[in-house]
Amino acid sequence: MRAHLPSPRAHWLLLALSLVVLLGLLMLDVLVVQRVGQGEAPSAGPADQVPESVRTGGPLLGSNVNGLTSRAVPDGTVVLTFDDGPDPRWTPQVLDVLRRNDVKATFFVTGVAAARYPDLVERMAGEGHEVGLHTFTHVDLGTVGQGRTAVELGQTQLVVAASTGRASTLVRPPYSSSANALDNEDLASVERMIASGHLVLLSTHDTEDWRNPGVDAIVAAATPADQRGAVVLAHDGGGDRSQTVAAMERLIPALREQGRRFRTASDALGVPTARSASFAEQAEGTAVSLAVRAAAATTELVNWLVVVSSVLALLRAALLLSTTGIHARRTRNVGRHVRRLRRQPVTVLVPAYNEEAGIEATLRTILASTADVRVIVVDDGSTDRTSEVVRSLDLPGVELIRQVNAGKAAALNTGLRHCRTELVVMVDGDTVLEPDTVAELVEPFADPDVGAVSGNAKVGNRDGLLGRWQHIEYVIGFNLDRRMYDVMECMPTVPGAVGGFRLSALRQVGGVPEDTLAEDTDLTMALERAGWAVTYRESARAWTEAPSTLGQLWRQRYRWCYGTLQAMWKHRGAVRERGLGGRLGRRGLPYLALYQVVLPVLAPVIDVYALLSLFTDPVRGAAAWLGFLVLQLVPAVIAFRLDRERLRPLWAVALQPIVYRQLMYLVVIQSVITAVAGARLPWQKLKRTGTAAQHAPELAPDAEITKPLHPRRGAVEDEVTKPLRVS
């Protein structure tokens, strides 16, 4: 049983790598894909450096040995061009109009859109249209340098090459119009593009259809006033293009009646605008296309996850608060009319493994109980002085049993074999009790249907940030979650730190299960499936020592989480049962699956998205973070008030997402991976420091026993070489 805990480092590395990839995809989509077309059209600047030959020349700009050149479209020829596509709604409609009218056009695509909809680019080329470059993100090339220009055009060229097999060199800069509208910045960007081997095609007739001026206005703007050649600028993407589609239906027949010919830019101008793309270029373009689509899909998925998570968080908060109110009223009413339990002896079982530091405080506070208690300590093969400490105390009413190491469940079963009372309380070897804890814990057994009672475990060593985080978690978990489970009659766990049981119920289910790590959860579920009610007694307080280091916390929660997964899988059949078992299966198990498995697994994704939103949309990101913080704080304040705790530690809630919550996420993810792999884990024992009573009221490790004890002899050592199981 004392196997080594599997190292989580490989899984952490895999998770970290996955989160880096996720962050990269989200950044690609949020900072690149979603920014396409968001810039405003630049205003015209000084144009004193633009040559007159360019200003008054044709729409195609290139160069020769003498510098910049321009070329005009032949008379009677019309080149239809469409920018900002492809768009999944409007581009197919434009293509349909062109096909019906047997017209070939030139499409200037953005790299992002071409990457997201490669089938449309492929259709453009397949139907004989020309595909040019409109940058990757629709950036104003007049405001960026050579490096950004090269990336914008190069990535777009690769994406187009992946869909068409051709590497286009024809460019239309975003926000451009005719040659006579060029300013100095535009000229500089044109010179950079031409120097890198590209041709720049502007327009002679700008329809300004992006303004949605009406079909008549678009047709009028696209119709040449004379027989000179024309390059018509329209759009098949970037917004509602219904007017553009309708205008093309009218424009093409009208121009044909005037004797106009429709040709692509390269055909009309007589210059090659594309070359065959290499296999490497097509492969790179495919990779870019896949990355853009993956980024868009990832963002859409994460958006849905954020919505679902928010809804679930709100539902959980509403459920906890409503059931807390019901439980509080029910507790007050029951307190007036409940049947009282007759006084009877109670056995307190203390499984112990290396509890030298705290076992004395545990035993003394148990024996100081107002109830009639007998104590059985089962030393599960401790390697420290646990047994020696128990023997040296020579406390009356305490029986010591030693066995070879077999795990906590086996130690409890050995103790149960020695029980002679119907009521049994199980506490951990590091737990200290208040004087009324045992009496309060067994009081619900006045109801013969009750088989187990959960006590109220509290963190004793709550100093320091880690202690405060665990203190907050315990208070919320016991005072809200267990109230909810109590009201819904689907309590999943009676904690090992402090729980009461009916011995006959334990014997009915075969004692404490030894085939899962969360024996407390497994046992509780088994009792409910056997028809025994399990309830919560908030006044039965016990003080336990929480892990004092992140490493210890990891090991403890890893065992808890993994064991809970084991128990949930083991008792999955409860969903088909009736009675208490059915309530557990149809209420408790789905709740555990949603809030202790599914959401924690998805939480790192949401955190990455939230972190990114602080840089892309700070106001919205901060509002979302504050909203989730409120959803945590409101239940926390209520839980602290119910437990009569001071609110001062709640400031630590704001810091939980930084370390504590991330650790809990990793615990769940590691546990799920381990469960899927089918690995088995040992009973992980934490190193104790004996600080469980640090904040317990009216308690001290050296508390004197002032009440009469059960008339037994002092500590008895019973050497057991083999663990026993309850039959």
Enter the tokens of residue 117: 């909809």
Residue 235 annotated in active site: yes
Q: Which of 129, 205, 235, 471 is catalytic?
A: 235
Contact 177, 83 (CB under 8 A): no
311: Cβ–Cβ under 8 A, 6 or more apart, which residues? none
- What the block records as the tokens of 102 is 């047997």
- Cα distances (Å, whole numbers) of residue 451 to 369, 403, 438, 532: 22, 28, 15, 5
Within a 10 A sphere around the Cβ of 252, how many other Cβ atoms? 22
Phi, psi dihedrals of residue 454, rounded to the nearest 5°: -90, 130
Q: What sign results for the dihedral spanned by CA atoms 427, 432, 437, 438?
A: positive
Name the residue type at position 499.
G
For residue 373, the SS3 value is strand
Token pair listed for 538: 């908030």
Q: Which amino acid is at 696?
A: A
Cα 441 to Cα 498: distance, rounded to the nearest angstrom: 9
Cα separation, 427 vs 178, whole angstroms: 84
Triad 489, 540, 377: Cα angle to 5°: 105
CA distance 29 to 34: 6
Residues in a beta bridge with 261: 77
Catalytic: which of 83, 84, 209, 380? 83
Phi, psi of 206 (to 5 degrees): -95, 115
What is the DSSP-derived secondary structure letter of residue 688? P
- CA 255 to chain CA centroid, Å, is 57
Token readout for 180 is 């006579």
Catalytic residue numbers, as ranges: 83, 235
